Structure 1
Amino acid sequence: MSRSEIKFRQGLALLSLAVMALVFPLFLTGCNPRDYKTQAAQVPQLVLVSPTDPKTFNYANNQTFPSVFPFIYEGLTKENGATGEYEPALAESWKFSPDNKRVVFTLRPDLKWSDGKPLTADDVVFTYEDVVFNPQIPTDQKESIQIGTKKVFPKVRKISDRQIEFILPEPFAPLLAATAAPDGIMILPKHALGDAVTKKLPDGNPAFISTWGTDTDPKKIITNGAYMIDSYSAGQRLILKRNPYYWRKDQAGTQLPYIDRIVWQFIENQDTQLLRFRSGDLDVMGDTRPLRPEYFSLLKREEDRANFQVLNGGPWSGVLYLTFNLTKAKDANGKPFVDPIKSRWFNTLEFRQAVAYAIDRNRININLYRGLGVVQNSPISVQSPFALKEGLRAYNYNPDKARELLKKAGFKYNDRGQLFDSEGNRVKFTLLTNSNNLTRVAIGAQVRQDLARIGIEVDYNPINFNVLIDKTNGSRDWDAHMIGFTGGIEPQGLANLWMTSGGSHSFNLAQQPGQPKIQGYVANDWEKEIDRLFIEGARELDREKRKAIYGEFQKLVQEQLPVIHLVNDSAIMAVRNRVQGLKYSGLPSWGLWNIQELRIKE
């Protein structure tokens, strides 16, 4: 990845030819997704692609994106991906009390699960009280709805089969966001999962934690969304079919979704994905992760001839960052998760700031994003009204400043320009990222080059995405990693990353439910201050006052630098003209957020 742009393009072309040589025989042997349509079942079908298999079919256990859940579940509310507004979903309406401490949601009449059983207030209470609020179930949705300094959950109670009341300890501005799909809390079936919550495993954890893994018969997964799982072949594809009991209808009274079947292909290599799209085997590319920038101009030239569109929705709503493992905790046997020598470096502010100054983000944007990206200085998505546009500390490329900071912190250089700490240890660490994202792999290679210029040796290791998540959110076995995080309008959606109790707070991960015990966890004072700001921001209902609170949060992050923000993608997606009804923008994390409205015109 250290080649010039010309050599990079030449290498990409050669790689594409090599991949084509491997993939072409597959087309001849019947692996074309179009072949799944038998003469007896010529139904409208959409063929999509994902770089990774699903990790689970249990929504509460999910920690990754993309996932199958936006296809198969809905929440009480839904975020409109075009406007950012919260709209009715399973709940047809809601009403706040005058003091904003009670909210009554009214479900739509005659809601049903995919097995035909009624969906009622009992399912809503079960989802919130028995699953999300359960301290033994490590769902990532907890932080989105914990309220106040004591981080308590609302009381969710049934009024009738169609009405549920949320009783809040104090006003909570992000409530509608917390209840909204695809990023908020989705409703689960009590009749299918209730027993798994109460039944205990030998280790004392609820059986729910190991329920509905990807080894479960997909036909046993009960859903309430537009689709249900028909079949799953690990490493190959997942096939979804229409949920016959889905509640949505169009203005003419036609039941949605319009598309009968979705074939979700799993192809890790992005160049292979490109070949499959160009050959007509995929309908959409870039719906769960923006297209690689170098694909943009290539596909743009082919739009008219190949009968597809390349859409640019502006800056993507997620963020890309590099972070160090700041934990000082130890495992159950007393072994530090991070080498104490490296831990001293990582927990030195000047070291983190030096690394930030050493990374040439504009070069990343020009060379790897083709100028289509946005240099990010904030943890909040640029589309959000809460994102600070000015006044944030920016770590613009300045290797001289980086060296000054390192020397100030006691680091020293030898006559070959190599960096050592005050005790004579060579400064070297391992950087991880997910290997399926080739742009990110290239960014990591440049980061390694940039840090070499200030004397730091980086052992760069792109690995499988699911393995990366297991390390960062589970075993804590890592030095530094680079990853993206989905964003949106509401800052509270970031709580799982930024609050100390969050399951995605990987840079200093606290004890998580169901994980082996850890010892000696300590949160930094600035982490506690971020907790306070999130709590204060959530209880404030005035938009301008909330903006000021989250402004303090953004400034604090840029001062303490637990993560180093890099360059944000543009939301670029390619879609065949046969797919109609798409409402695309860079705001939602999922480009097909209105999947139920899409049609196929053959």
Structure 2
Amino acid sequence: MANVWKNTLLGVTMVSLMSVPNVTEAAAPPITIKIDGQKQTYDSAPYMKNDRTLVPLRGIFEKQGAEVFWKQETNTVVAVKGDMTITLKIGSKTAYVNGAPVTLDQAAEMKNDRTMVPIRFVSETLGADVKWEQKTNSVLITSGVKSTPNKGQVLHLSQFNDVDTLDSVLATDTASFNMISQINEGLTRLDKDGKAVPGVAKSWTISPDGKTYRFTLRPDAKWSDGSAVTASDFDYAWKRGLKRSTGANYAFLLTWIKGGQDYYNGTGSASGVGIKVIDPKTLEVTLESPIPFFPEQLAFPTYYPQKKAFVEQKRAAYGNDAGTVLSNGPFKLHTWAYGQLIYLEKNNTYWDRANVKLQKVNVYIGKPQATQKTMYTKGQLDLFQAEANAHALYQGNPEYHSAPEQTSGYLQFNMTHPVLKNKKIRQALTYAIDANQYVSKVYNNGTVGATGLVPYGISNGQGGDFRTTNGDLLNRSANLPKAKALLQEGLKELGLTQLPTLTVLMDNGTTSKLSGVTLQEQWHQNLGVEIETEYVSFAERLERSVWGDFQIVYSFWGADYNDPMTFLDMYLTDSDFNETRYSNPEYDRLVMAAQKEVNAAMRMQYLYDAEKILMNDLPVAPVLYRQYSYLLKPYVKNLTLVDNIKGYDLKNVSIEGK
């Protein structure tokens, strides 16, 4: 990422001290700063310049309860206190408070790696009273004399990981998808029930065979630079994603379009892709096969538009900063302090701006969970992702909420391993896990034990729930007593008398380590075997999974779209996501038949049968369906949790009664 933000809190605030004695800087005695009666000491001392006292921003702002961030590329300070956000560029006489300009009587400057500013800014921004005491050559600052904004349409959030990129074609992680979804919009949006509603497209029609869609775009859909969003913007973005050299990991979603796979493989051309720009406000798309959930999928960031001239002007920098991204959604990026803060503001060129109530969103990055909890308690955060054991801690608290994530947690067995290629051993290791007991001990936040690979909340395309309809395919209560016998039968088939040492590769977080210990205990108790664990970073676990460098790996998969195919096509023999190296011709036949089937009921039956085969072979051992548990301030209204990828939708959020 191009942004390199230092967590340096800089200079001070700006208040002109007209009564300061007219002496030269060299002759003046040291200037003392007292905040609420306490003398302050700074590594960069205050000084006089042009009859103005300049002081270090960091110390004073922090003492006043503000957080300050430094953006090195643009020499800009960002300070946040309550609902107020201040931005100030070194060398400039103009600061911005909640977007409104404030003129300084002396430009901010750097001295000894600290930002120094005139002190009047303290009273004008942080609500302090500032006086000059001539006899002691002191600046006296009294906190909280004046009110500061705290009841505006401002939302304060946090997330553990920073955004990797705001390029919707290249994004692959949840943090990026989530932020892109706030500042951009596709042809459709998802409502609170996960159904497609008009976005940039005000309407669309579908051909009788379910393959061809014609979208009519809104005449008032605009980019944040004021230019129109056109059908060509979708054509460009999608074909850019399909161009193999772009390196879009989510290009597989675009290969559903007719000719898309051939273009991606290099055996077809861009002109052969089934995307047709009829006119600037009409787009026609033809699919290889009918996809009943295609309107919902168009709300996914990979299908968002991009303005060709802008992308090609920014080149490799596109999507890396506020100045290298355009918005066509409810919000736009004001400031991105990488690793620290993302500051969004309302996009006043958005077609539905009249219904966007929030004026500003501050997203704090990388705060430890304990810090987030403290900030939530103090009212500095409006939403807090609850820790493990949330049910015990917050049950009965009206601010506590829990919702399914559409995410499965499961063990993947390396099918090339000489022991794990034995089906009965895989069954024994799977059935020996008491999933309900496991989630109660490790999570206790509404997360439930898995009964198949596909989690609850995934549609069966006919108004029902896939998991509910396909039932419990693991039946652990009946199979747990059989686990030891299955293990012995499997060892006998391999000519072994005892299970060789096996190791589970896992992430190195606190919850993951508790998870590992719990699995070890259950395998010891229910099978009489000792399984080792290896804890590594998230990045290393992903890399080793891709290369098959594991015996057993604990993995998670969240739905890319609301259909069981997002889970089941991973285990096709030639799938890039088949990290187990599993292969079953009948499984392949059923999944590929479902990919082409027009009849919705028949298509779903293929998928029901495919999951049953997978859960009989058990190249993966489903463990849990993860739940998202959080605390939300009661004054935050209409927050919609969309899905595990895009997280939340802030378009309709408002602050009422704070």
TM-score normalised according to structure 2 size: 0.68
Does residue 54 (structure 1) correspond to residue 197 (structure 2)? The answer is: no
Matched residue type, 1:180: A
Aligned position for 1:294? 389
CA contact (8 A) 1:110 1:118 kept: yes
Aligned position for 2:348? 244
Once the two structures are overlaid, the 10-residue window that deviates more, 487-496 or 380-389, is: 487-496
CA contact (8 A) 1:55 1:466 kept: no
- Decide whether aligned partners of structure 1 residues 591 and 158 sit closer, same or farther in structure 2, where only a CA change above 3 A counts: closer
Matched residue type, 1:382: Y
Matches within 5 A, 1:416-427: 422=496, 426-427=500-501
Choose the corresponding residue for 2:488, options 378, 388, 407: 407
- Decide whether aligned partners of structure 1 residues 456 and 140 sit closer, same or farther in structure 2, where only a CA change above 3 A counts: farther
1:462: how far off?
4.0
Does residue 270 (structure 1) correspond to residue 369 (structure 2)? The answer is: yes
1:548: how far off?
1.0
Matched residue type, 1:595: L
1:246: how far off?
1.9
Q: Find the aligned partners of 1:422 and 1:99 in 2 and give their Cα distance.
A: 56
Higher strand share goes to which structure? 2
Aligned position for 1:261? 360
Q: Find the aligned partners of 1:294 and 1:109 in 2 and give their Cα distance.
A: 50
Matched residue type, 1:295: A
1:270: how far off?
3.0
Aligned position for 2:332? 228
- Decide whether aligned partners of structure 1 residues 294 and 591 sit closer, same or farther in structure 2, where only a CA change above 3 A counts: farther
Aligned position for 1:163? 282
1:407: how far off?
2.6
1:269: how far off?
3.7
1:120: how far off?
1.0
- After superposition, the CA RMSD in angstroms is 3.5
SS in 2 for 1:110: coil
Aligned position for 2:174? 65
Matches within 5 A, 1:222-371: 222-249=326-353, 254=354, 256-267=355-366, 269-286=368-385, 291-292=386-387, 294-300=389-395, 303=398, 309-313=399-403, 315-326=404-415, 343-370=417-444
Q: Find the aligned partners of 1:323 and 1:28 in 2 and give their Cα distance.
A: 51
Aligned position for 1:525? 583
- Give the length in aligned residue pairs: 504
Matched residue type, 2:653: L
Q: Find the aligned partners of 1:38 and 1:265 in 2 and give their Cα distance.
A: 13
Does residue 472 (structure 1) correspond to residue 559 (structure 2)? The answer is: no
Q: Find the aligned partners of 1:345 and 1:235 in 2 and give their Cα distance.
A: 43
1:284: how far off?
0.9
Once the two structures are overlaid, the 10-residue window that deviates more, 140-149 or 263-272, is: 140-149
Choose the corresponding residue for 1:429, options 492, 498, 503: 503
Matches within 5 A, 1:457-468: 457-468=530-541
Q: Find the aligned partners of 2:64 and 2:429 in 1 and give their Cα distance.
A: 49
SS in 1 for 2:326: coil
Does residue 34 (structure 1) correspond to residue 67 (structure 2)? The answer is: no
Aligned position for 2:25? none
Residue-by-residue CA offset, 1:318-371 (whole Å, 9 max, x unaligned): 222222344x5xxxxxxxxxxxxxx22333322322211121212113333438
1:448: how far off?
2.3
1:162: how far off?
1.0
Does residue 595 (structure 1) correspond to residue 642 (structure 2)? The answer is: no
Q: Find the aligned partners of 2:341 and 2:573 in 1 and give their Cα distance.
A: 36
- Decide whether aligned partners of structure 1 residues 195 and 150 sit closer, same or farther in structure 2, where only a CA change above 3 A counts: closer
Aligned position for 2:555? 483
Higher relative contact order (CA 8 A, sep 6+): 1
1:311: how far off?
2.2
Taking only the aligned residue pairs, the percentage that are identical comes to 20
Matched residue type, 2:405: W
1:125: how far off?
0.8
CA contact (8 A) 2:322 2:334 kept: yes
Residue-by-residue CA offset, 1:432-468 (whole Å, 9 max, x unaligned): 1262xx4444223211222344355444344443443
TM-score normalised according to structure 1 size: 0.74
Aligned position for 2:636? 579
Q: Find the aligned partners of 1:447 and 1:169 in 2 and give their Cα distance.
A: 44
Q: Find the aligned partners of 2:276 and 2:646 in 1 and give their Cα distance.
A: 34
Gaps of 5+ in 2: 1-60, 69-79, 87-96, 99-148, 264-272, 461-465
Q: Find the aligned partners of 2:573 and 2:349 in 1 and give their Cα distance.
A: 40
SS in 2 for 1:258: coil
Choose the corresponding residue for 2:473, options 377, 388, 393: 393
CA contact (8 A) 1:144 1:495 kept: no
**Runs of 4+ residues deviating >6 angstroms:** 25-29, 147-150
1:106: how far off?
1.5
SS in 2 for 1:245: coil
1:50: how far off?
1.3
1:26: how far off?
8.2
Q: Find the aligned partners of 1:322 and 1:297 in 2 and give their Cα distance.
A: 27
Q: Find the aligned partners of 2:197 and 2:555 in 1 and give their Cα distance.
A: 30
- Decide whether aligned partners of structure 1 residues 97 and 425 sit closer, same or farther in structure 2, where only a CA change above 3 A counts: closer
Q: Find the aligned partners of 1:74 and 1:113 in 2 and give their Cα distance.
A: 10
SS in 2 for 1:319: strand
Matched residue type, 2:476: N
SS in 2 for 1:449: helix
1:504: how far off?
4.1
1:29: how far off?
6.3
Q: Find the aligned partners of 1:169 and 1:101 in 2 and give their Cα distance.
A: 7
SS in 1 for 2:285: strand
Choose the corresponding residue for 1:373, options 426, 447, 459: 447
CA contact (8 A) 1:48 1:264 kept: yes
Matched residue type, 1:555: K
Residue-by-residue CA offset, 1:23-42 (whole Å, 9 max, x unaligned): xx989864395357158325
- Decide whether aligned partners of structure 1 residues 352 and 230 sit closer, same or farther in structure 2, where only a CA change above 3 A counts: farther
- Decide whether aligned partners of structure 1 residues 38 and 190 sit closer, same or farther in structure 2, where only a CA change above 3 A counts: closer
1:156: how far off?
0.9
Q: Find the aligned partners of 2:245 and 2:218 in 1 and give their Cα distance.
A: 30
Gaps of 5+ in 1: 1-24, 197-207, 304-308, 329-342, 413-419, 509-523
Aligned position for 1:77? 188
CA contact (8 A) 1:143 1:502 kept: no
SS in 1 for 2:328: coil
- Decide whether aligned partners of structure 1 residues 176 and 235 sit closer, same or farther in structure 2, where only a CA change above 3 A counts: same
Matched residue type, 1:568: Y
